[in-house]
Amino acid sequence: MARSGVIRDLDEATRAELAGKVDKLVLGGMDRLFARRKVWNDYQAELVTIAAGVAGIDERPPPDLPPAREKGKTYQPKSWYIPRPDSGQDFFTPERMQKSRSELEKLKKRLKVGVKS
C-alpha cells in the first residue's frame, strides 16, 4: 500500500510513461505484477544514477569570496540627506521648517477626510 502512495505523488507525464512501459512488457507476455515491479525498479535505478551525477556538483571548489573587511575599519553610511557638520549650512532653516509644517498640515487634512468617525 505504501508503494501506491509514492506512485500517486508522480506527475501525470511520468505515470503515463511508466504505464506505457508496463503495457509493452505485458504485451510481450510478462505478468502485469512482474512488469510493474520491473518498470518501477528500473525507474528507481534511473533516479539513483541521476542523483549520483548531481552529487558530483558538491565536489567543485567553492566560489571566490570577496576579501573580508580589515579589522578596525567601520562602515560609514553615505550621508545624502544630512549635511556635513563642516559644510557651514544649517539643516533646519526657518524656511525648511515652515515648508515641512505646511506639508504635515496638508497630510493631516487628507487623513481626516478619509477617516469616518
- For the full predicted model, state whether its pTM sits above 0.95: no
pLDDT tens for 60-108 read: 677 777 777 677 666 666 656 565 666 666 777 889 899 999 999 999 9
How far, in Å, CA of 12 to CA of 21, rounded? 14
% the chain with pLDDT above 90:
36
3-class SS of residue 31: coil
**AA letter at 20:** G
Specify the pLDDT at position 20.
95
Alpha helices for the chain (secondary structure H): 2-8, 12-27, 32-55, 94-114
